[in-house]
Structure 1
């Protein structure tokens, strides 16, 4: 089939490669415009744009599917559009441009975790199983009929970044299979069934660790916001970033936020038992080993996260 591919970040690349490997003709690639990156704010193509240029694929760069972008999509005459993390909503007026519409790869088992951050919310909420769904885009937010799903176990040490990386590859296989099936007329979408949960985009505040929470909730939150937007607490009035922690149910005598060096471990109290800090980033410094940071503390016995 002639496919328009819409995507922006690196997580969309496996799907682009899978469609090409399956023999589909990618007639155009829709992606967000170049964005300033780094300290010097150098305009940089999105990962999808860079790969499309390497492959010699026609590019449509647009912040949203406006009239100009819609005209460019129509001119490419795709049979179907495949969309993976493009980063903007597709207006109803553009949904009918391809004969078979737009097929979205969403990283959850719909109708669970509709929205922009399904993997992060899945980890934060302690899901044991998640997956990906290939579904038909329609006017509602992630409400369309589903053509196929795949499942993935959430590992105890998964961060949202690690889980999303796995899902990007297994989901790419699903998307290519669904596009194959649609082209051959073998499959049809099935209306979503089950409990609807929402996964709005995370803010910086979603990464704020509250030490009064139980250790399990803190552990899940930190893993869920790693790497974006990142976990943090405050120390002496300054933001202090945290990497994933290790559960320490053997230590239950620390007050919430209280820090203690125990042998070669740096522990922090929670609303239940302690957690062990592994990587930390004090204000103005780079991420470092927690023990290296703790050795430089002036008042080790009085360190408390706020």
Structure 2
């Protein structure tokens, strides 16, 4: 089929490659504009733009899918629009511009975790199962009928970034199967069933750790906000980024929430139900380092981290983005 593809981050790149490899004609790629990256703030193309350039595909950059984007799409006369983590809503009249409308690859098991950050919220909430859906895009937020789904047990120590990489690959395979079914007239969409929950974009404060929470919830939050927006704690007004953590040794002593101490070769910190082990940290103004190296450099026997605010269940209010 003749396809318009909209996407921006690394997670969308496998889908773009899969559609091209399957023999579909990607007539246009829409992505977000180049963004300043790094300390020198150098304008850098999005991962999808870079992939499209390597594939010699035409690229249209747009902050949002408005009139100029619709005109670019209309001129390609596409059969189908495909969107994967573009970062903005498709509204009418663009929604109806492709002959068969738009489909969306979304990294959750809908209707659970509709919105911008489904993988992060699934991990924070401690979901045991994750997945990806391809659904028909409608004016509502991630509300359309589902064409296909892939389900996976959640790896217990995978960060949001690692899990998204896994789902991006599995989702690309699912997406090409759905596009083939639509092209051959064999697709059978089904309405979403179950309670809808929502996954708004995370803020920096969502990475603040509340050491008074149960151990499993603290670990889930660290995994869920890694690599972005990043987990952190504070002590004496200084920020300590927690880049990697895991279960403490089984014989580690139970300490009060937020208390850091050494246990053998491990660095542990107390939570509401027992300690966790710190593996990699980044103190304020310093590079990332092994937690043991950081701790030896402090020359302390104990350090009390601020207990933080309420790191409660993941929010459920909708975020208007696709």
Structure 1 equivalent of residue 315 of structure 2: none
Structure 1 stretches of 5 or more lacking a match?
none
Structure 1 equivalent of residue 264 of structure 2: 263
Structure 1 equivalent of residue 129 of structure 2: 129
* 1:169-199 Cα distance to aligned partner (Å, 9 max, x none): 0100000110111011101321111111111
Structure 1 equivalent of residue 320 of structure 2: none
* 1:81-103 Cα distance to aligned partner (Å, 9 max, x none): 11100111111221000011110
Alignment of 1:91-106 (within 5 A): 91-106=91-106
* 1:131-185 Cα distance to aligned partner (Å, 9 max, x none): 0000011110000011010111101111111110000001000001101110111
Structure 2 stretches of 5 or more lacking a match?
307-322
Other structure's SS at 1:179 match: helix
1:168 lines up with 2:168 in the alignment:
yes
Structure 1 equivalent of residue 314 of structure 2: none
1:51 lines up with 2:51 in the alignment:
yes
Structure 2 equivalent of residue 280 of structure 1: 281
Structure 2 equivalent of residue 75 of structure 1: 75
Structure 1 outlier segments of 4+, above 2 Å = 248-253, 298-301
* 1:105-152 Cα distance to aligned partner (Å, 9 max, x none): 000010010000000011111111110000011110000011010111
TM-score scaled by length of structure 2: 0.93
Structure 2 equivalent of residue 245 of structure 1: 245
Structure-2 change in CA distance of 1:16 and 1:165 (3 Å): same
Q: Distance in 2 between matches of 1:147 and 1:92?
A: 21
Q: 1:280: how far off?
A: 0.6
Q: 1:253: how far off?
A: 2.8
TM-score scaled by length of structure 1: 0.98
Alignment of 1:11-160 (within 5 A): 11-160=11-160
Q: Distance in 2 between matches of 1:134 and 1:49?
A: 22
Greater relative contact order (CA < 8 Å, ≥ 6 in sequence) = 2
